[in-house]
Amino acid sequence: MNAPTPAPSPAEVIPAPVGLLAELTHRCPLRCPYCSNPLELDRRSAELDTQTWLRVLTEAAGLGVLHVHLSGGEPTARPDIVEITAKCAELGLYSNLITSGVGGALAKLDALYDVGLDHVQLSVQGVDAANAEKIGGLKNAQPQKMQFAARVTELGLPLTLNSVIHRGNIHEVPGFIDLAVKLGAKRLEVAHTQYYGWAYVNRAALMPDKAQVDESIRIVEAARERLKGQLVIDLVVPDYYAKYPKACAGGWGRKLMNVTPQGKVLPCHAAETIPGLEFWYVSDHSLGDIWTKSPAFAAYRGTSWMKEPCRSCERREKDWGGCRCQALALTGDAANTDPACSLSPLHAKMRDLAKEEAAETPPDYIYRSIGTNVQNPLSEKAPL
C-alpha cells in the first residue's frame, strides 16, 4: 500500500516563473558605463549553441514562463536570433527584443517581425547625439538608433524606449519624452540607474543629486497626465533616494530567471556578485529543476532567510527585503535589509554617500569592455 504523499503547505509551493531573461550574448557595440552585465563578461567561445537555447525556451514555456526578454549584450549579434525568436512564437512565449538598435540590428529587424516578434525595447543613451554617443562610447550610434526606431513603428511593432538616467543625461528627461512621442513609441522607461555591475564601479560619475532627481520625477508625472492614452511612462526611481526598496526581480526566485550567455541560471542579473551561492547550468539540469531545486534560487526565496527589521516588517512580502546584491555591496551581508530601505539602520549613511558623490566633480567613465581588468568593488570592504 502506498502511503499518500503529504501535500506541500501553501507556503512551500513555489510559484511558476513568469519571465525569462535570456542574455544571449555579452557582445555589444556599445560600452555604456552603467551596463548591468557583470564585470567579467562571457566570451563568444563560451556562449550556448542554438540547440541549447531552443531547448531552454521549450522548458521555460512548459514551466509557465510567459515573457521572454531577448537581451544581452546586443542580442542581434547572435546569428541565430531569428531562429530563437521564431521558437518563442511557436511556443506562445511573448518575445521582447531588448536592443541597442546599432550594428546588425536593423538588418535583422524585418526577419524578426516576420517570425512573430512581439515587442521591441530600444535603448537610448541621450537625446543630443554627441552626449548620447559619449555615454554609449560609440560614434555614429544615434542616427542608427533613429533609423531603427523608425522601421520598428513602420512595421507596426510596439516600441518602448528605454532611457537609463544619471547625472550625464538627467537634464534631458523632457527631451526623452518628446523623442518617444516623435518616434511613435507607446512606452517610455525613465529608469534611474541602479548601481550594480558597471554602474557600481562608475557610481561617482553617474549619481545625480536629490534636487535633480525630484525635478525629473515632477517632469515625468506632468507628462503622464499630458500624454495619457498616448504614451505610457514607467518610472524607476533611484534606490539611494528612495523610501522603500524595490522588490528585486519581483522577489528572489519568484518571477524571473536569468540565463547568462554561457548557460548559468541566476535569480537576478547581478546575483553572481554574492559569494558562496551555487548556480546551476542549463547544460547540467533542466530549467524546472533549477527553478525548484538549485541552491542559489532557494537561498533568498521567501522570507525565512530574513533578519530584522525585515523579518517582522509588514512589507516583507511586498518588497521581499529589497535587493540582496545591493545589501551585500553596501553592508557586507547579503541577508541584511537593503539599505535603500528607510527602515535599514544604514539608510541615512547610504543617502549621505549619494549626496557626497553627487556634489563632487564627476570622474571619467570606466567604459564596459570584455577582458578589461576592473577592480571588483565588492572585493573591497563594504563601504557603509
Partner 1 sequence: MTAQFPPPVPEFEQRLLSHEELEAALRDIGARRYHNLHPFHRLLHDGKLSKDQVRAWALNRYYYQAMIPVKDAALLARLPDAQLRRIWRQRIVDHDGDFEGDGGIERWLKLAEGVGFERDYVLSTKGILSATRFSVDAYVHFVSERSLLEAIASSLTEMFSPTIISERVAGMLKNYDFITKETLAYFDKRLTQAPRDADFALDYVKRHATTPEMQRAAMDALTFKCNVLWTQLDALYFAYVAPGMVPPDAWQPGEGLVAENTAQASSAAAAGAPAAFSGSDVPRLPRGVRLRFDEVRNKHVLLAPERTFDLDDNAVAVLKLVDGQNTVSQIARILGQTYDADPAVIEADILPMLAGLAQKRVLER
Closest to partner 1 by CB, 230 vs 376, is 230
Closest to partner 1 by CB, 157 vs 204, is 157
Q: How far is CA 219 from the centre of its chain?
A: 24
What is the Cα Rg of the chain in Å? 21
**Is residue 110 part of the contact set for partner 1 (CB under 8 A)?**
no
**Is residue 156 part of the contact set for partner 1 (CB under 8 A)?**
yes
Q: Site for partner 1 (CB under 8 A): how many residues?
A: 28
Pick the binder of partner 1 from 26, 27, 31, 67 (CB under 8 A). Answer: 67
Stretch that binds partner 1, among 1-9, 154-162, 261-269, 325-333 (CB under 8 A): 154-162
Counting other chains too, the contacts that 349-354 makes at CB distance below 8 Å and 24 or more residues apart are 349/384, 350/240, 350/384, 351/240, 351/241, 353/240, 353/383, 353/384, 354/207, 354/210, 354/238, 354/240, 354/241
Among 278, 321, 285, 320, CA closest to 299: 278
| Shortest distance (Å) from residue 263 CB to partner 1 | 23
**What is the 3-state secondary structure of 82-121?**
HHHHHHHHHHCCEEEEEECCCCCHHHHHHHHHHCCCCEEE
299-322 burial, b if ≥16 CB within 10 A, otherwise e? bbbbeebbeebbeebebbeebbbb
Pick the binder of partner 1 from 5, 8, 12, 225 (CB under 8 A). Answer: 225
Binding mask 345-384 toward partner 1 (x if CB under 8 A, else -) reads ----------------------------------------
Closest to partner 1 by CB, 228 vs 381, is 228
**Is residue 191 part of the contact set for partner 1 (CB under 8 A)?**
no
Closest to partner 1 by CB, 32 vs 60, is 60
Is the separation of the CB atoms in 16 and 59 below 8 Å? no
Binding mask 291-330 toward partner 1 (x if CB under 8 A, else -) reads --------------------------x-------------
How many residues would you count in the chain?
384
| Shortest distance (Å) from residue 123 CB to partner 1 | 14
Determine the Cα angle at 150 with ends 144 and 153, to 5°: 140
Question: Which residues lie near partner 1 (CB under 8 A)?
Answer: 10, 16, 18, 62-64, 66-67, 92, 94, 96, 118-119, 121, 156-158, 160, 186-187, 225, 228-232, 234, 317
